[in-house]
Chain A
């Protein structure tokens, strides 16, 4: 079973197994439940009569909205009217976070410094994957909501009160969240997050997670005036209520922010680099 390798200049011998492929059955073909196409008779690489989750793609193009098509891609079904409206509003609400966000600034820096046009959006999206004012903790926020949505807000608050009491609220960081999806924004509350939440809760429908998170945010704020839900927390609740698979949530968050990343990223493209501030030597301090 084993081959023995002599260690060079070594007193000992280390037993090591011979390297060989594992016996694993790999798939013969790629499978997909999303995309179906027929092969052209004259060229087997050309596809036609495309269907997406069973629907004719040409009909989708002609009649479905972008948000409905997106929902179909992610979940396999078209949304009902209320879900369609909730997703549409979410896409609008999260389309831009403004030019002070790290991801947007990264895209802007790329645009101004003449990064190739194909790279600006991915650069912004990658930074948007961070845990501070990004979607790096979205999976944790979904986990938190899923674990607590069937409990009373009071019980969850009681269960988390010790952790909240123990942390130093002045240095509490989004990168290491106590309550994923909830916290403070620059030490205070985020008025835009409140506006987004109100706008989304205004959509007619049964939004169990959104409603619970809103109630929890209110209770949390009453118990500790500096904590509310964060934009990521709102997005997590939307994903839960729309049955978006949690593994796709961060990618959807990045996609939602694409319009703002593109707009700000290219806003100054073509301008001289002096269009952005440059830190002077006087304000640059080496330890």
Chain B
């Protein structure tokens, strides 16, 4: 047996039939624990669900104001508008009379997207880290904007800035104000993002979007890319459920129903199947 095979087998064998080095769990007769916190006799009644969410997602027990901030950001991302793609999926689920879980989970999965929602956060975080690195190496915000926009032939496609469907982002305005109220100071990521935004506004009429704002804020709180992905995993869920329920309240199949001639066929003309030899 080769060495690497031996090492891997030993590692796998250590975990066979055992769950070791867990961050928490249910100790029957004693309680339920997460990262040293007692859920039923410590958190329940004293702390919010968002304390537990942050604890489970990051292993860190948060201060109250961070929970308030995260809860506010969830409100920003759960709109009951079925025209938004993840909500569209939830609405189809309601129209098709799928269960609320199937529909909501399907919608959340839709937001695991490289374009919007939660799925693009790992790439977004990497991008913002690269931008900050460039800035620390001496590149100004304006030079960063010029460099990045030149890469995309004059169009603003910088991750965390601009936005599909609409221009501007009202959520950033509200979240900046709320963070201020909670006495969070802007860290290095947010400061650079706002400097970049200033250049983008002047030159291209584009601004920081909610994804960029949230990523910068959480990076400034020293969370890493995976922790941020974990924290935001289900943040669109409530809007999806709302869109699901709205269809459930109607007759089945009534979410944007289509007549046959609502579809335009663009494929090949009618043809015969080849004769089998």
Can you list 19 A-B contacts with CB-CB less than 8 angstroms, sorted by A residue number?
A5-B173, A16-B169, A19-B167, A30-B258, A30-B262, A30-B263, A31-B263, A32-B266, A32-B267, A33-B267, A33-B268, A36-B267, A37-B260, A44-B259, A54-B271, A76-B268, A285-B22, A286-B23, A287-B22
Taking the closest CB of chain A, its distance from the CB of B207, in whole angstroms, is: 6
Q: A17–B167 Cα gap in the complex (Å)?
A: 7
Q: How far is the CB of B198 from chain A (nearest CB, A)?
A: 7
Residues of A within 8 A of B109 (CB): 126
Binary interface encoding of chain A residues 113-126 relative to chain B, with 1 for a CB under 8 A from any of its CBs, else 0: 00010110010001
Closest CB in chain A relative to B7 CB, distance in Å: 5
- Segment at the B interface, from A55-63, A87-95, A214-222, A228-236: A55-63
Provide the bound-state CA to CA distance between A45 and B21, in Å: 58
Question: In the complex, are the beta carbons of A286 and B25 less than 8 A apart?
Answer: yes
The listed residue (B21, B28, B207, B259) touching A285 by CB distance below 8 A is: B21
Chain A nearest CB from B126 CB (Å) reads 14
Cα of A55 to Cα of B22 in the assembled complex, Å: 56
Residues of B within 8 A of A241 (CB): none
Within 8 A of A (CB), among B213-270: 257-270
Say which size band chain A's interface belongs to.
35 or more
Tell whether, in the assembled complex, residue A29 and residue B22 are in contact, meaning their CB atoms are under 8 Å apart.
Answer: no
Residues of chain B within 8 A (CB-CB) of A32 are: 263-267
Q: How far is the CA of A51 from the CA of B263 in the complex (A)?
A: 14
Q: How far apart are the CA atoms of A20 and B168 in the complex, in Å?
A: 7
Nearest B residue to A46, CB-CB: B260
A287 touches B21 (CB 8 A): yes
Closest to B162 in A: A22
Q: Mark A16-49, 1 if CB is under 8 A from B, else 0.
A: 1111111010000111111111111000111100
Q: Are B181 and A9 in contact (CB under 8 A)?
A: yes
Residues of A within 8 A of B (CB): 1-2, 5, 7-10, 14-22, 24, 29-40, 44-47, 51, 53-56, 59-60, 63-64, 76, 78, 116, 118-119, 122, 126, 169-170, 184, 186-188, 225-226, 277, 279, 281, 283-287
Nearest-Cβ distance from residue A61 to partner chain B, whole angstroms = 11
Interchain nearest-CB distance for B89 vs A (Å): 13
Check if A8 sits within 8 Å of B265, measured CB to CB. Answer: no
Return chain B residues, CB-CB under 8 Å to A55: 271-273
Interface centre among A33, A64, A187 (most CB of B within 10 A): A187
Per the CB 8 Å criterion, the residue count for chain B at the interface is: 64
A116 and B18 form a contact (CB under 8 A): no
CB interface residues, B 1-40, toward A, < 8 Å: 2-9, 12, 17-25, 27-28, 33
Which residues on the B side are within 8 Å of A54 (C-beta)? 267-271
Residue numbers of B with Cβ under 8 A of A are 2-9, 12, 17-25, 27-28, 33, 98-99, 101-102, 109, 164-170, 172-173, 176-177, 180-181, 194, 198, 201, 205-207, 257-274, 276
Given contacts A8-B181, A20-B166, A187-B5, A285 and B261 within 8 Å (CB-CB) = no
Q: Assuming A14-B194, A22-B166, A287-B21, is B260 touching A38 (CB within 8 A)?
A: yes
Q: Which of A20, A34, A54 has the most CB of B within 10 A?
A: A54
A residues near B270, Cβ cutoff 8 Å: 51, 54, 56
By the criterion CB–CB under 8 Å, are B2 and A279 in contact? Answer: no
Having A19-B167, A170-B3, A287-B22, one finds 20 other A-B pairs with CB under 8 Å, namely A7-B177, A8-B181, A16-B172, A19-B168, A30-B258, A31-B266, A33-B265, A34-B267, A37-B260, A45-B257, A63-B273, A170-B7, A186-B5, A226-B2, A226-B5, A277-B17, A283-B17, A285-B20, A286-B24, A287-B23
Q: How far is the CB of B217 from chain A (nearest CB, A)?
A: 15
Question: Are the CB atoms of B4 and A286 closer together than 8 Å?
Answer: no
Contact of B205 among A5, A17, A46 (CB under 8 A): A17
What is the bound-complex CA distance between A158 and B259, given in angstroms? 58
Q: Is the CB of A284 within 8 A of B261?
A: no
A20-B167, A186-B12, A283-B17 known; A14 vs B176 contact (CB < 8 Å): yes
Q: Is the CB of B19 within 8 A of A22?
A: no
Question: Bound state CA distance, A114 and B111, in angstroms?
Answer: 27
A7 near B268 with CB under 8 A, answer no
Complex CA gap A155/B181 in Å reads: 61
Contact among B4, B28, B98, B205 with A226 in the assembled complex (CB-CB below 8 Å): B4
